[in-house]
Each structure stands twice: as C-alpha cells, then as structure tokens.
Amino acid sequence: MTKPRTGRVAKIWRDGELVNWDDANIHVISHVAHYGSSVFEGIRSYETPTGAAVFRLPEHIERLRDSCRIYRMPLEYSVEQLVQATVETIAANDLRSCYIRPLVVRTGEQMGFYPIGVPIETFIICWNSEILYLGHDAQEAGVDACVSSWRRAAPDTFPTMAKAGGNYLNSQLSKIEARQNGYHEAIALDSFGFVSEGAGENLFVVHDGALITSPIAAGILHGITRRSVIQIARDMGLEVREQNLPREMLYVAHELFFCGTAAEITPIRSVDKVPVGEGRPGPITRAIREEFFGIAKGRVADRHGWLTPVPIGAEAGA
C-alpha cells in the first residue's frame, strides 16, 4: 500500500467495525463538540526487524478505561477487545509504523451539558504520517523551553490523571504562548508553583547523576512513556526520585528532557534562555533515549514485554 502523505488511512475502527475514513463522522450537535467530553490515548507502532509492534498497548488501553471511569463514561469494550481491535486496525491499513489514537466520545443529538445517558462512541484511528511533535531536529539538537504563565489546575478542580480532551485547552494556551515568544515548548507549574510538566509531555531533571521527576500530585498526566523511562533508568542503575521540583531546579539542572508518546525522548537545551548544562543533550539523556528506541524498534531485547506484535494482512483477518 502506498502511504498517503496527509496521514489519512483507509479504515477507522468504530464501535466494533472497520469503516471508511470518510464515514467516521459525528453530528455537530454532539455533546463532545460543545462540552469537551472525550477521553483518548496516543500510542505508537514501530517497525521492528520482525514487523510492526505497538509500544505498551495494553497499558495505554488500561489508562483509556480509567479515564472513562473517572468521567463516568461507560466503556462497552474490555481492554482485551480494544487491544485486539487496535491490532486489527493497524493490520487492515497495512501499516508498519504509525501513530494510534483510541478515542471515546459522548455524541448524541441533544443540548445540555449533563452527560449521563448521552450516547458514547469508541473509535480507533491510525495516523499514517511521521509525528514530529517538536520538530525535525529536536531529538538530536534539543529544544528551547520556557516556563508558562499558565498554571496547571489545582487539586480538586478537574482530574489530571484522566487523559481528557478538555485538559488540553490549558496546554494549548501554554503552547501558543511559548511559540509566540520564540520557544519550542512550554513548561507548566502546578497551582503551588512547583514544576509540573510540559504542554504535552512529562519532564525529567538530571542532577548529580540522579533522575528526578514531578509526582502525580503535581497535576501531571500519569505518563506511560514516563513509567518506561523510570524503568529503563533503574535498569541502568540510576537513582530515580519522584519529588516536588522548585522552578529554579530547571536552571541548575545538569540535563533536562521531555518524554511522551509524541515527543518520545526529547532533550531540552535551554529554559527561559538559560542553557541546560552545556546547552546540548547530556550523556544520561542520550543513554536513556538509545535504550528506549532500542526496545521500541526491536534492536534490544524486549525484557519487560512492552511490545505487541501486529500480524499484517490475512494473518490478522483483515
């Protein structure tokens, strides 16, 4: 199959069946269009020497289920069913590597924000184009970040552990501010002034040989790539700490990097125009990134069982 440049694919999974791209539509009066009532995941499939493999697919679907629970969105499908549906959708589109977006939305055709009883639909979308979240050179050269004037939500306002569409309105404001001021990305503080995360990714500090990241209570998404980085670092014998980080730690860090499904492992070379370390990716960041891609792309043994293989074509029943 010739890969379309736009990222468009032939088939999208919609509530148990594969439909044509153009048929995966919802009505303009849908609840989600007015009130942001969606939860979703971002997942990657990588090409490996033995074929396509999805990185930490069950964990992503489990988080999707948990997001639905938090927002009282009854999910009709089990984790196992959605894992299989994801594999089948990738195979049906004959993809070796792609970005995957499972999406659960409140739809229907009624007005009013009260959500209980509103129809819920589930989609699995594959995006057949390279995702360069922070640009072509970000992985090698690093990116310039700034501390945003927009804070993450305070506790007991809305749940940041849910990967919900509405949460990203805050991220959009931070991202716009950063880009308009000449930076690649924003770093948000939590409501108490401690470091939270990037606009669309988690953040790690390297200081005195230890790897430090903000705790879940700092208004961050409980990132799956973040968990992978922590495991890889521990495998390498590094000290890993989850603790509150004052803003000034960003300026004295020896290394900094973002991580997430879209960002993967992206070094940060400066914050608020203050160089991080020597102003280029440091050795610990490079070592973690190399191990991460080694596992994801099948060059290193999948010792933690993070990869779900994708049979292509007839083998998957496509």
For the four alpha carbons of 110, 115, 117 and 120, in that order, the dihedral sign comes to positive
Upper half-sphere CA count for residue 144 (Cβ side, 13 Å) = 10
Distance CA 77, CA 121 (A): 11
Q: What span, in angstroms and rounded, lies between the C-alpha atoms of 126 and 133?
A: 16
Within 10 A of 272 (CB to CB), how many other CB atoms are there? 13
Helices (H), 192-312: 224-235, 249-252, 283-296
Helix (H, G, I), strand (E, B) or coil at 235: helix
Cβ neighbors of 114 (< 8 A, separation 6 or more) are none
Measured distance CA(148)–CA(146) in Å, rounded: 6
Q: Where are the alpha helices (DSSP H) in 194-242?
A: 224-235
Active site residues: 163
Angle of helix 224-235 relative to helix 283-296, nearest 10 degrees?
110
H-helix or E-strand containing 207? strand 202-207
Answer for the pair 68, 75: CB distance below 8 angstroms, yes or no: yes
